[in-house]
Amino acid sequence: MIVLANDGISKSGVEKLESNGFEVLKESIPQDDLISYINSSKIDALLVRSATKVNKNLIDNCPSIKLIGRGGVGMDNIDVEYARNKGIKVINTPAASSKSVAELVFAHLFGCVRHLHSSNRSMPLEGDGKFKELKKAYSKGTELREKTLGIVGFGRTGQEVAKIAIGIGMNISVYDLNLNETLLELSFFDKTTKSFQIKMDNFKDLLAHSDFITFHVPAQRNYLISEDEFKIMKQGVGIINASRGGVIDERALEKQLSSGKISFAALDTFENEPNPDIKILMNARISLTPHIGAATTEAQDRIGIELADQIINLLG
């Protein structure tokens, strides 16, 4: 059987598939040419990340496809229900990238509370002539310890974020639409573990009492955070979004950053990917990354192996 990894796959995933008799193609075929390529190559399984769109038109015109795989959590670039109704298996890797995304959240968070996102812009331009002025400007950092981190969405990634927060002495406030409470287990370097029974908070209470808020939810039809929600938040709150674009109303966010209600934002995902609003990109109060939450070597290895295991089980 032939697998097309159109948005790439780790070497470990390729090796596992090939050792089980699959042929793996790693060409990156443009969206407009994809149907023709799949049909001419008689592709059995199509693997994508976020770049390739698998819509009804592709599904209807590629009868050889038996399986569609998404290397990651969200599957909003795949018409999942339609594919499954056509008898096509659709898989993803919800657990593989959680730790990597959680670490990126804290990379942003540590950077923002010490103004690194702004300092890294200013130092190359003014560091030689205005060193003392910049030192004074960036000398009002904040520690994370004993601050409250609001975590909206408490699936695998939200739970990994909570583990890091607890580990560095933060308080957490958690909201998830589908949970009332859950057991969170932390593992330590010496192989010991400690468990915490985590109860969900009211959404508005989380917004009102958190010093920082991070989002780990699926794609939303409507904004989860807009003007009304910003009004509930504490003065000077920090916002992190490494889930999906469209969770936060970016125009409302800009307004709240300008007023000082929001002290900073950290965005890994954007409303208009892959062409984020230039006002967002130029805002000095926003720490920016180009949707790289799962983009670590370790996560990509786990994703590749998990996809390979599922393909072998379903098609082997």
Beta-bridge partner residues of 67: 45, 89
Shared domain for 162 and 209, answered yes or no, is yes
Same domain, 149 and 210: yes
Note the pLDDT of residue 94: 87
Burial of 288 (0-12, 13-18, 19+ CB in 10 A): middle
Distance, CA of 253 to CA of 206 (rounded, Å): 18
Count the domains in the chain. 2
Query: In this structure, are 141 and 209 located in the same domain?
Result: yes
> Mean pLDDT, consecutive 10-residue segments, the chain of 316 residues?
96 97 96 97 96 96 98 91 97 93 98 97 96 96 98 97 98 97 96 97 98 96 97 98 97 98 98 95 97 94 96 94
Q: How far apart are CA 60 and CA 88, in angstroms?
A: 11
Q: Name the residue among 144, 86, 120 with its Cα closest to residue 78.
A: 86
> Which residues does the annotation mark as catalytic?
244, 273, 291
Q: Please say whether the beta carbons of 224 and 250 come within 8 A.
A: no
pLDDT of 10 reads: 95
Contact, 69 vs 46, CB < 8 A?
yes
201 and 103, same domain (yes or no): yes
Same domain, 305 and 252: no
CA 46 to CA 2: how far, in whole Å?
9
Q: Give yes or no: residues 229 and 303 share one domain.
A: no
Residue 43 sits in the same domain as residue 105:
no
Contact indicator for 49, 8 with CB cutoff of 8 Å? yes
Q: How much is the pLDDT for 95?
A: 86
Co-location of 107 and 124 in the same domain: yes
Which residues span the domain enclosing 175? Answer: 98-288
DSSP strand E in 112-190: where?
A: 148-152, 171-175, 181-187
> Which CATH number do you get for residue 64?
3.40.50.720
Q: How far is residue 9 from each of residues 26, 48, 65, 135, 305, measured CA to CA in Å?
A: 7, 9, 18, 44, 9
Q: Which pLDDT score, from 0 to 100, does residue 1 have?
A: 95
Same domain membership, residue 262 and residue 206: yes
One domain, residues 62 and 34: yes
pLDDT score at 38: 98
